[in-house]
Amino acid sequence: MASTIEMHPPPPAEALCLPPRYVQRTQNQTLDTPLRSTPYWSGQRLANAARYQFHVYAWAAHLIRRRHLRSVLDVGCGVGVKLREHIAPVCDDITGIDQPSAVGAAREQQVPATFIEGDLERGGCDPGRAFDLIICADVLEHLLDPRPAMDLIRRCCHERSLVLLSTPDRPRRRGRTNMESLKPEHVREWSIDEFARFAERAGLRVLRRRLRPQDDAPVRSAIAREIAWRLRLAPTSRLCCAILLCERARP
């Protein structure tokens, strides 16, 4: 998501629509820095890249077909395999933004897109144009300060743009009482309600919400556990990928 070591603390929890007692991490461990022995995008992450956020990109492809969208921006695109598998077959104007290791891997795999190496927290990665659909899938929880990335997303919207945002749903993934990320690479994790409030505070209007498995598992395989979670008979739910379909808020 960036190329330098971040030393500044994250914004206060309340500024990001988190509970006041939520404890955020103080370092972005997704970064490729001189302190890492290997790039973030390597090994098992490359092998799993096509599986996770599967339902986000499947929804994106559906929107492209249904609404005749012609251009896509993927903010924090990773190695681009989901762009190649889901988006490229239905759209030929694709741009992805991510840190150099991800962009390099995407180019090696010949993903049919334009890629920009960028720092989502410090700027300098603005493509300078608007897009019909903007995707930001499980990225914002990695950033010390996700607000610049949200500003970028909003700047890349025209009046009819659609935005798909996703993040792990904290109470479903970690349990209702969890107030600190258990994953070192996640600075924070929202509930779907908190995430929707954060999106709206950033200048978007939430049109629809979905809860889906984090990987490519069928939705039906997770329904029973979700019902048990809602009845407080299970501590977690497999429907723990929170997805928001948004548009730019009107003035």
CB 87 within 8 A of CB 61: yes
Measured CA distances, 52 to 58, 99, 116, 230, 240 (Å): 11, 19, 22, 24, 12
**DSSP-assigned letters across all residues of 71-82:** -EEEET-TTSHH
Q: Is residue 33 in a domain?
A: no
| pLDDT exceeds 90 at position 226 | yes
Write down the mean pLDDT value for the chain.
Answer: 93
Q: Is residue 127 in a domain?
A: yes
Print the domain residue range for 200.
39-248
Which position has the token pair 């098992």? 44
Please tell me the pTM assigned to this model.
0.94
Q: Is residue 70 in a domain?
A: yes
Q: Is residue 20 in a domain?
A: no
| pLDDT exceeds 70 at position 104 | yes
Give 117-146 pLDDT, tens digit per residue: 988 988 778 999 999 999 999 999 999 999
Give the Cα separation of 210 and 212 in Å (integer).
6
Indicate the pLDDT class of residue 37, thresholds 50, 70 and 90. low
Q: Give residue 42's pLDDT.
A: 64
Q: Is residue 101 in a domain?
A: yes
Give 143-195 pLDDT, tens digit per residue: 999 999 999 999 999 999 999 999 999 999 999 999 999 999 999 999 999 99
CATH of the domain at 57: 3.40.50.150
The number of distinct structural domains making up the chain is 1
What residue spans of the chain are helical by DSSP H?
Answer: 44-48, 54-67, 81-82, 100-108, 147-155, 170-174, 192-201, 223-230
Angle at 143 between CA 44 and CA 164, to 5 degrees: 80
Q: Is residue 71 in a domain?
A: yes
